[in-house]
Amino acid sequence: MNWLNDNVNLLTLIGAAAIIILTVGVAGKYIKQMKTDKATGELTGDNWDGIGEYSNELPYGWSLAYVGTIVWGLWYFFMGYPLATFSQIGQYNDEVKDYTARFESKWANPDKETLMGMGEGVFLVQCAPCHGITGDGMGGKAADLTTWGSEEHIVNIVLKGSKGQGYALGEMPAGLLDKASATAVAAYIVQDLAKSGKSKHPELVAQGKALWATCGACHGMDGKGMGGSAPALVDYGKAQFVVDVLNRGKLGTIGQMPKFNDGRLTNIQKRAVGTYVDSLSSEE
């Protein structure tokens, strides 16, 4: 009888035995009562199709339970679990607040690997529908992010202009420089200004620097964007620049990119996307 050593089994058996004994006892009592009892007492005047009603006092226990339930109900509505304190939206807000707090503390100082993983996840959901899973812009349906940050890309922007970011200094018109000058400026930006890599045309850097005045009128002579009035080109080719585009949207020559500043992405996630996008191009 090994299984009787288990407390749960023992309790269950005792409970089962109690239920059987009580059932038999109570049922026996009432069956006996039905056989021997005679109905006695004073009837009320009501008579429904031959069925009468005894004029009995309310059982004391019943009245107590009735009043008790009402008292408990009032307590429940107004104190125990007040209706006014619950709402579906409130519950949602709490959930989001908790989640955001946990998210921010968990990823307060993400390492590069974390940013890449997070960035890829967000990219696949939010960016891939236009830029493609590999970020290649799906044959010209959106900007090709695998070449983003390169000198060719800068030349392209100088020739075609850049719109829709809503900077205070307005939009960048197309054709401020011809192709040769644009190539030189691109070399200067990549190598000296943003320091995002080695230029393919190091001999043009000095010439690009001389031509920079045209660009510096808006982007600032130091390339820092005159305190947020124009894109900061010192960040070009880096994660921070992508974060700017995510916040501001863009109206390129291909099509319009919506803003992602409606709370769908946290700051950490934006940085992660920036890191990931940056990695797409630097792998080349």
Residues binding another protein (CB under 8 A): 46, 88-89, 91-92, 95-96, 99, 125-126, 129-130, 133, 138, 141, 254-258, 260, 262-264
The residue (of 48 and 60) whose beta carbon lies closer to another protein is: 48
Instruction: Please tell me whether residue 21 adopts helix, strand or coil conformation.
Output: helix
- Report the 10 Å Cβ neighbour count for 160: 15
Phi-psi region of 132 (alpha: psi -120 to 50; beta: other; left: phi over 0): left
The residue (of 13 and 96) whose beta carbon lies closer to another protein is: 96
CB of 159 to another protein, least distance (A): 20
* Cα separations in angstroms, 80 against 34, 47, 213: 44, 44, 71
CB of 138 to another protein, least distance (A): 7
Q: What are the structure tokens assigned to 210, written together? A: 């001389």
- Containing 10, the helix (H) or strand (E) segment is helix 7-36
The residue (of 128 and 169) whose beta carbon lies closer to another protein is: 128
The residue (of 196 and 269) whose beta carbon lies closer to another protein is: 269
CB of 82 to another protein, least distance (A): 16
- In the chain, the amino acid numbered 230 is A
The residue (of 24 and 125) whose beta carbon lies closer to another protein is: 125
CB of 46 to another protein, least distance (A): 7
- What beta strand segments (E) does the chain contain? 43-48, 51-54, 250-251, 256-257
CB of 245 to another protein, least distance (A): 14
Rounded to 5°, the CA angle 40-45-51 comes to 65
